[in-house]
C-alpha cells in the first residue's frame, strides 16, 4: 500500500490463537499483538488503523466495546474475529459499524486480504458469510436502473483474463489467492477487478457473484 503504512492491533487472550497470529506476522513491526485488556485499551489511539478483536475476550459486552471504540476513535476500523462465526452474529455486528467479520483461525493470506480491504475503506467478510448474504440479496443490490438484471447483460464485454478472474471471484477466491493461482501481481488483479466491476456495473464482488448467479439462472 502506498502512502501511510497501516498500523494493526490484534487482541486475544487465547495463547494458542495468539501464537498462530504471531507466526503469520513474525518480524512485522506494524502488527502489534496484545493479550490483556488494560494494555489493549491503552494502545487505542489515532495512530492505529485496524483493531482485530477476538470476540471471546468480550463475550458479554462486545457491543459496548465496539460502540465505545467507534465513538471515541471513529477513524479506527474494527475487525471482529470469532472461532465460531455465524451469519446472525455477523449481521448484528455490521449494524454496529465494524468493517470486518471473520474466522479467527483463517489463513495468513486471508488476514492480509482483510487488512488491505478494510484499510482501503471497504468491508471484509469470510467467504461463507458472503455466500449466505448473496442468497438473501435481490437484484436491487446491483447498481442498475431496473430491479432485475437485464437478461441481455452478459460477460461478453470482459477480456479473456477478466472472465477468468470473474470466475475465480465467483468461486470464492480472494485477490491474494487469485494472484497466486494465475501468477499475476496483486496490483494487476485489483486493476482487473475494478475493470470488471465497471464494465458490468456492479459495486463489488458480492454484486458480481449475484449477477453471475442470475445470468446462470
Per-residue confidence (pLDDT) for residue 214, from 0 to 100? 76
Query: What interhelical angle do 108-119 and 15-24 show, nearest 10?
Result: 80
Q: Which helix (H) or strand (E) holds 197?
A: helix 186-200
Q: Residue 216: in which H helix or E strand, if any?
A: helix 205-216
Q: Identify the pLDDT of residue 153.
A: 57
How does pLDDT run along the chain (217 residues), one tens digit per residue?
A: 445 688 999 999 999 999 999 999 988 889 999 999 999 999 999 889 999 999 999 988 999 999 999 999 999 999 999 999 888 898 899 999 999 999 999 989 889 989 988 998 888 887 777 767 666 654 444 444 444 445 445 688 899 999 999 999 888 788 888 999 999 998 899 899 999 998 988 888 778 888 887 776 5
Cell numbers that stand for 214 in this block: 442470475
Model pLDDT, residue 98: 95
Distance of alpha carbon 197 from alpha carbon 15, whole angstroms: 41
**What does the alpha-carbon distance between residue 95 and residue 67 come to, in Å, rounded to a whole number?**
11
Amino acid at each position: 500500500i502506498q502512502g501511510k503504512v497501516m498500523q494493526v492491533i490484534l487482541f486475544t487472550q487465547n495463547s494458542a490463537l495468539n501464537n498462530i497470529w504471531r507466526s503469520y506476522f513474525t518480524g512485522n513491526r506494524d502488527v502489534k499483538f496484545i493479550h490483556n485488556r488494560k494494555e489493549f485499551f491503552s494502545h487505542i489511539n489515532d495512530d492505529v488503523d485496524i483493531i482485530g478483536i477476538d470476540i471471546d475476550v468480550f463475550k458479554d459486552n462486545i457491543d459496548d466495546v465496539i460502540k465505545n471504540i467507534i465513538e471515541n476513535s471513529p477513524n479506527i476500523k474494527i475487525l471482529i474475529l470469532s472461532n465460531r462465526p455465524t451469519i446472525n452474529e455477523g449481521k448484528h455486528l455490521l449494524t454496529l459499524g465494524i468493517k470486518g467479520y471473520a474466522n479467527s483461525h483463517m489463513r495468513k493470506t486471508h488476514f492480509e486480504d482483510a487488512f488491505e480491504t478494510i484499510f482501503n475503506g471497504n468491508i471484509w467478510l469470510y467467504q461463507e458469510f458472503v455466500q449466505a448474504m448473496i442468497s438473501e440479496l435481490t437484484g436491487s443490490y446491483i447498481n442498475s436502473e431496473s430491479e432485475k438484471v437485464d437478461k441481455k447483460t452478459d460477460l461478453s464485454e470482459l477480456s479473456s483474463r477478466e472472465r477468468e478472474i470473474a470466475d475465480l471471484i465467483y468461486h470464492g477466491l480472494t485477490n491474494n489467492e487469485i494472484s497466486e493461482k494465475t501468477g499475476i501481481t496483486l496490483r494487476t488483479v485489483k486493476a482487473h477487478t475494478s475493470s470488471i466491476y465497471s464494465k458490468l456495473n456492479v459495486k463489488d464482488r458480492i454484486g458480481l457473484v449475484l449477477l453471475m448467479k442470475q445470468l446462470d439462472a
